[in-house]
Amino acid sequence: MTALTEDAFLGGRLCVAQPARGYRAGADPVLLAAAVPARPGETVLELGCGTGVASLCLGARVPGLHLTGVERQPAYAALARQNAARNAIALSVVEADLAALPADLRAQSFDHVLANPPYYLRTGGTPAADAGREAALGEETPLALWLDSATRRLAPGGWLTLIQRAERLPALVSALDSRLGNAAILPLAPRAGRPAKLILLRARKGGRGAFRLLPPLVLHAGDRHRSDKDDYAPEVAAVLRQGAALVWPEG
């Protein structure tokens, strides 16, 4: 990894270095961070933190969090540490595979675990040419193992928050087990009347509540893109530009 870009998030509140070629964070980790119901002073673990965008967006919104990220790619882990330092947000980054976490991390539990697992199965499709991008987007570790690792790291009553492609929903739901309850799925639709392409999941360790499929959050206003300016719905623009929390609909 050589060439880097400097990218602004949250309307310029964060400045993040990312590889010019490779996996590049966009709106997805910002939406993920906005969905985490964290409160000041709580502990947070991000599995597969990449360059740190989701954790840093969360840290910018909620003061006083104890943030830890796990990233298996050394170059991305190094960038996450640098990005945390330059934005003055405390983030401890552990270079490890989530399937083989170090003993000291396995001994800890967290109030929140968040993750943006790779979106694409590699039983079909074409792998990305860049190795870093492929590692971030092409599934090697099964989705069920992501959920198991996350659940094991949660304290009783802790919350798992995860973003994933809508087409992976069957695998995601089948990976939920009795350790997690109060599970809710929020579909993210690009425009009104269009199928959701992404979903957000929240579930609570030890929760007793029933599974809920929520009404979709529509990301963009209007029936199509009409100009060079972005056309995010107001509540989505507040998340992406001002670092607001994502308020989940009731249902």
pLDDT, one tens digit per residue, over 59-69 is 999 999 999 99
Q: With contact defined as beta carbons under 8 Å apart, do 34 and 61 qualify? A: yes
pLDDT, one tens digit per residue, over 176-188 is 999 999 999 999 9
121 CB contacts (<8 Å, ≥6 apart)? 139
Provide the strand spans (E) within the chain.
4-9, 14-19, 43-47, 66-71, 91-95, 110-115, 154-165, 180-189, 198-205, 212-213, 217-218
Phi-psi region of 119 (alpha: psi -120 to 50; beta: other; left: phi over 0): alpha
In the predicted structure, residue 130 carries a pLDDT above the cut 50: no
Domains of the chain: 4-242 (3.40.50.150)
pLDDT, one tens digit per residue, over 201-250 is 999 999 999 999 999 999 998 666 655 567 899 999 999 999 999 988 76
Considering only CA atoms, which of 97, 100, 114 is closest in space to residue 44? 114
In the predicted structure, residue 137 carries a pLDDT above the cut 70: no
Considering only CA atoms, which of 28, 13, 38 is closest in space to residue 89? 13
Q: With contact defined as beta carbons under 8 Å apart, do 179 and 209 qualify? A: no
